[in-house]
């Protein structure tokens, strides 16, 4: 229950931050990405504010042996910079510039009931599902596990 309340509160505060900072205004996002045109630098301050706070608190939090309401900290362990990471980020960036939405602002904006964020969230789910299908097909074609998968599975605590 406490875990659920924490997650819900984190989502609420995250959403409030997106709304206050201007991330839920797709035109502002596009304005930020228009660096060669009428550039609106304000969204750079969103990142500065978020990283400034989280960088400090993250380090203080990790001094604890475990989180408050869960057994262990789940920190990503992969370090390999592969084609998947680079290609995925590249595709995401094209979509971000095309629509002016990334996933968080898409979810928050969809509550307004307007067409653009609803369409965006609909096709985002399709895109995620499409990845699942493509990923499964690709993995079944190469029976030998990829190196970073081995590393990830070995990093899992033994039950």
Partner 1 sequence: MAPTSFRLVVRREEDYVIPIDWIHALLGGGLIGLAASLMMWGAGRIAGISGIFGGLLSPSAGDIAWRVAFVGGLLASGLAATLAFPAAIASPEGRSVVEVGIAGLLVGFGVRLGSGCTSGHGVCGLSRFSRRSLVATLMFIATGVLTVTVLRVLGAP
Scanning residues 22 to 81, which ones bind partner 1 (CB under 8 A)? 22-28, 30, 33-37, 40-55, 57-58, 61-62, 64, 66-76, 78-81
| Cβ distance to partner 1 smaller for residue 113 or 143 | 113
For residues 24 and 109, the answer to whether their CB atoms sit within 8 Å is yes
Per-residue x/- mask for partner 1, residues 120 to 159, rule CB under 8 A?
xxxxxxxxxxxxx-xx------------------------
Choose, by CB under 8 A, the member of 111, 139, 149, 150 that binds partner 1. Answer: 111
- Where do we find the tokens 């067409």? 115
CB of 137 to partner 1, least distance (A): 13
- Where do we find the tokens 């964020």? 117
CB of 21 to partner 1, least distance (A): 3
Cα gap 78→137, rounded to integer Å: 22
**Phi/psi of residue 91, each to 5°?**
-65, -45
| Cβ distance to partner 1 smaller for residue 17 or 146 | 17
Q: What is the largest CA-CA distance in the chain?
A: 55
Reading the block at residue 120, the tokens are 């965006």
Choose, by CB under 8 A, the member of 85, 145, 147, 150 that binds partner 1. Answer: 85
CB of 60 to partner 1, least distance (A): 9
| Cβ distance to partner 1 smaller for residue 4 or 158 | 4
Nearest to 95 by CA among 158, 13, 33: 33
Cα gap 21→42, rounded to integer Å: 8
Reading the block at residue 22, the tokens are 């201007």
């Amino acid at each position: 229950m406490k875990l659920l309340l924490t997650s819900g509160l984190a989502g609420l505060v995250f959403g409030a931050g997106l709304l206050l900072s201007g991330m839920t205004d797709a035109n502002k996002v596009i304005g930020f990405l228009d660096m060669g045109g009428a550039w609106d630098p304000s969204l750079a301050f969103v990142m500065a504010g978020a990283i400034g706070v989280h960088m400090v608190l993250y380090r203080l939090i990790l001094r604890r042996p475990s989180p408050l309401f869960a057994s262990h900290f789940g920190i990503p362990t992969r370090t390999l910079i592969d084609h998947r990471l680079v290609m995925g980020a590249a595709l995401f960036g094209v979509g971000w510039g095309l629509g002016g939405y990334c996933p968080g602002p898409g979810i928050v904006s969809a509550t307004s009931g307007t067409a653009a964020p609803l369409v965006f969230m609909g096709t985002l789910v399709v895109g995620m599902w499409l990845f699942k299908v493509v990923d499964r097909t690709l993995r079944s074609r190469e029976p030998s596990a990829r190196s970073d998968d081995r590393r990830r599975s070995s990093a899992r605590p033994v039950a």
